[in-house]
Structure 1
Amino acid sequence: MTEFVRAGSLNGYDELARKLGANPVQLQRAIGLPTSQLRDPDNLIPYEKLGQLLELTARETGTETFGLRLGMSQGLRVLGLFGAYMSRQDSVTSALAVGSKHTHLHAQGAILTLNPTERAETALKLDILVAQHGRFPQLMALSIALIYQLIRDMAGHQWHSSRVLFRHPPPEKGKDFYQQAFACPVEFNAEHDGFFIDRETLAKKPRTLEGLVNEIIFSQFEQLKTDPDSDLTPLVKHAILGLLPTGDCSKTNVALCLGMHPKKLQRALESSQTSFRSLLEETRKEVAKTAVFKSSMPLTSIALNLGYADLAVFSRSFRRWFGIPPSTAEGRRPS
């Protein structure tokens, strides 16, 4: 089974590769990753390809800390509107619980777990299926660094862990850079990959990054640059698409993602002669059409990714949209 990851995982890759003397386009082509797939951060690319690209780039640039450097340049912004949704939770603990529950929205085959310890801190552990047995140390360094930066974005950049753990051996060159980047002791050849978070930090209300939503709007929705309030429909549909698999795709939570009051969102949609319910229905229908007619994804998985409680409810909606049950859709690939 092929796992996928959002192209946003490579945010900053081109700039860092060039800075270190490499041609990012040539490296992407060398591992069979079309550059066109990377233009939209919400596009999905094979996780395996991401791992191969990072390892190749580290070798070509002679930089064993490439994945770490890239991850340290990232943060909540890499997750798009889902990152904004995380930062609006009541505490860092709640934000991480949301992230852990829905890690698959950013990276399939990545498992994030949080386990309280006896030392008044919580152990964060990350497993990535494609990186098992030490296959892609650059990918793991990138991923741990990204999550570390998520905590810093929410708790403040003065925060640091008591220690960071990696299963892979230390790099021949750059071990000191690991400790400088994390500002704490780093252990290699550990039993798992992860780090520790103190409970005081976990109890804090996340900081909201200034301009985060506007940055997402301006980077992903060119048509909204001139007047972001003129028509929020594309942005709302994008937020709906991101929140559907969480089961928490309500008007309130979409408004929370966009940094506005639900009533303001409702007024904005009314001025565009639509409603949240209409956009929710429209988005579900568009995704269902592609997923059912053009993929082999199990129907139950499609239903859950669209935020339905079970397959029966999804089937009723599909029949209403297309006049047939999804199981008999023409062109349906076998599951």
Structure 2
Amino acid sequence: MKPLVRTAALSGYVELCRTLGIDPQALMKRVGLDTAALTVQDRWISGAAAVQLLELSATASGHDDFGVLMAEFRRFSNLGPVSLVVREEPDVRSALGLLIRHQHMYNEVLHARLSEGDGLATLKVDLQIGEAMEARQATELAVAVFHRILRGFLGAQWQPLSVWFRHPAPADTATHRRAFGPMVEFGREFDGIVFYSDDLDAPNAMADPLLREYARQYFESIVVPKDDTVGDQVRELIEVLLPSGRCSVEQVARSLGVDRRTVHRQLASSGVTFSSLLNATRMDLAEQFVANPRRSLTEISDLLGFSSLSAFSRWFSERFGCSPRAWRSRQSRQKRPGQD
């Protein structure tokens, strides 16, 4: 089954369309949706249809910043029931962690994850739509919503160290810089937000300690457990551990609180191995990193946990059929004609 999103994911859509002079009903009809559905926030609709709708709307309005503009209509309550308990969490770390842990309750397309290292926190945002399609607007909307949530906790003057997007910059970046600040960058290797880890320890000014337990009890009565596989957990740990040079099945097992045999056995029951997940994760990251000319190949080798640049180059050539330098050059030539 393809992922769904709550209709709340399109909160502000009709209002923004009218502001920009385009017909929301006609556009929604093209993707099989109806504006009447948006009157009930907890109705579930096709995630692919919602993503396609944002792209069509950006084209129809002539606004490459459609997703960022739409985020300005968002309210905390649009997150649904999870917003009640998040509002009462004692600090930003626990609030953000709860939002990420239960993201499937408000958006099955959204896959965000938080990692920390060297005093920095990185919030990466991925969209898993279930089919290949352009998702620039939905990606920018998701990142902008997380940015607004963090500002809600940390204050209107808070600024991240940087906001990154994988896609190229629009012709006019004024809206992005107004929304995110001056450190918004395009053509990077992931979509997300980088900020100081200390920000996660900031107290939540909205929280009422007396209400937290009530909110937790209510939420636990309606929470829908996430169907996380061991493979999903192992893959996330691999991505976190690779740059440290300590990415081994033993280290992953320790992080999961089990022994290595348990990891091997549970992965085998899913038809995968630790080595296959390690290679698949490295390949996904390698494509992102090598495509970015700002990253040196030596730096990429370290980020992917290789002992030397030559070892990385051999591994890359075996899997991609050419050296990382040749692959980067080819990608650059393919992108150039379509860039503004």
TM range (shorter): 0.5 to 0.7
Aligned to 1:291: none
Structure 1 residue 103, shift from structure 2 partner: 0.9
Q: How does 1:131-210 map to 2 (within 5 A)?
A: 135-172=134-171, 174-208=172-206
Alpha-carbon distance in 2 for matches of 1:20, 1:3 = 29
Q: Deviations over 1:241-296 (max 9, x none)?
A: 9842259xxxxxxxxxxxxxxxxxxxxxxxxxxxxxxxxxxxxxxxxxxxxxxxxx
Alpha-carbon distance in 2 for matches of 1:36, 1:241 = 31
Runs of 4+ in structure 1 over 4 Å off: 131-134, 239-242
Structure 1 residue 127, shift from structure 2 partner: 1.0
Alpha-carbon distance in 2 for matches of 1:137, 1:10 = 15
SS of structure 1 residue aligned to 2:145: helix
SS of structure 1 residue aligned to 2:224: helix
Structure 1 residue 91, shift from structure 2 partner: 1.0
Structure 1 residue 96, shift from structure 2 partner: 0.9
Residues 1:207 and 1:46: Cα distance change in structure 2 (over 3 Å):
farther
8 Å CA contact 1:153, 1:209 repeated in 2: no
8 Å CA contact 2:52, 2:134 repeated in 1: no
Structure 1 residue 155, shift from structure 2 partner: 1.6
SS of structure 2 residue aligned to 1:112: strand
In the alignment, structure 1 residue 245 sits paired with structure 2 residue 191:
no
8 Å CA contact 2:82, 2:219 repeated in 1: no
Structure 1 residues not aligned, in runs of 5+: 214-235, 248-335
- Letter in structure 1 aligned against 2:223: L
8 Å CA contact 1:162, 1:184 repeated in 2: no
Structure 1 residue 121, shift from structure 2 partner: 2.0
Aligned to 1:37: 37
- Letter in structure 1 aligned against 2:149: L
8 Å CA contact 2:89, 2:207 repeated in 1: no
- Letter in structure 2 aligned against 1:178: H
8 Å CA contact 1:126, 1:193 repeated in 2: yes
Q: Percent identity?
A: 28
Q: Deviations over 1:140-189 (max 9, x none)?
A: 001100111111112211111110000111112x2132122111311111
Aligned to 2:129: 130
Aligned to 1:290: none
Aligned to 1:91: 91
Residues 1:114 and 1:127: Cα distance change in structure 2 (over 3 Å):
same
Residues 1:96 and 1:141: Cα distance change in structure 2 (over 3 Å):
same
8 Å CA contact 1:178, 1:186 repeated in 2: yes
Alpha-carbon distance in 2 for matches of 1:124, 1:134 = 23
- Letter in structure 2 aligned against 1:170: A
Residues 1:82 and 1:70: Cα distance change in structure 2 (over 3 Å):
same
TM-score (structure 1 length as normaliser): 0.61
Alpha-carbon distance in 1 for matches of 2:130, 2:70 = 17
Equivalenced residues, count = 219
Aligned to 2:7: 7
Structure 2 residues not aligned, in runs of 5+: 227-340
CA RMSD of aligned residues (A): 2.5
